[in-house]
Amino acid sequence: MSPADTVVVTGAGKGIGTAIAHRLAADGRHVWCVDVLADRAEETARALREAGGEATGAHCDVGDPGSVTALWDRLAVAGPVSGLVNNAAVFPRGAALEIGLAEWQQVLAVNLTGAFLMCQAFARQASGSGAVVNVASGQAFRPLAGGAHYAAAKAGLVNLGRVLALEWGPLGLRVNTLVPGLVPSDQSRAAVDDAGFAAQATITPLGRLATPAEVAEGAATLLSASFVTGQVLVVDGGVLRL
């Protein structure tokens, strides 16, 4: 793998996104660590550089089309991008009857529309090859009460990946979907307590929850697997068994 290979990772400021950025940098890729919080993006990029990797921190709110355009304008100056990991997401909780239209639209804007716009921008600059990994959720297949907007957006992301794989395969572009299981992180801890984590571990065939590094391994695999596209890779210890 050439050090010139550049991958954009959204939501790289924490949790799974940070782990993916570290794994890809360790693989020899130049990682653009993108986050809605610029200081977190740069913190991740700095850690990668201190570990001997190549990384750039960048701000982008994927829920804002103008912010997405600004990011790709900057990337166009920096050089071609060979890979994209759409990991940025928001995960609010609420009963369906209590979700307001503004909240519904914001969740879809970040979790689905933002990923679509990032994919479009990536494909438009690609020149003959490249790979996208969209990070979905087990809730795309087995949703829980209290997150209708989140589950709907993640289900949409799965089928978005399948359609893009069909349309963009002739262009030399691969598009796959990564489905992590429940991973203890700042985001998940806002919605799941310790008892919830323990309960999930008990129904997992491997008997425990994944680490962010194990999910990152799945992302790296999908980026590198040159004849795999339109697929869904579940990294949840065997819970879904799709």
CATH code of the domain containing 20: 3.40.50.720
Which amino acid type is present at position 85?
Answer: V
Q: What is the number of domains present in the chain?
A: 1
Q: Is residue 129 in some structural domain?
A: yes
Q: pLDDT tens digits, residue range 144-154?
A: 899 999 999 99
Using alpha carbons, select from 238, 222, 149, 211 the residue that is nearest to residue 15.
211
Q: Is 105 a catalytic residue?
A: no
Residue environment code for 73-97, b if the CB has 16+ CB neighbours within 10 A, otherwise e: eebeeeeebbbbbbbbbbbeebeee
Mean pLDDT, range 100-118, rounded to an integer: 98
| Selected catalytic residue, list 32, 91, 122, 150 | 150
Q: Is residue 1 in some structural domain?
A: no
pTM (2 d.p.) = 0.94
Which amino acid type is present at position 175?
Answer: V
CB 177 within 8 A of CB 115: no
Angstrom distances, CA of residue 130 to CA of 5, 39, 76, 82, 126: 10, 28, 15, 5, 7
Q: Is residue 195 in some structural domain?
A: no
Q: pLDDT tens digits, residue range 25-60?
A: 999 999 999 999 999 999 999 999 999 999 999 999
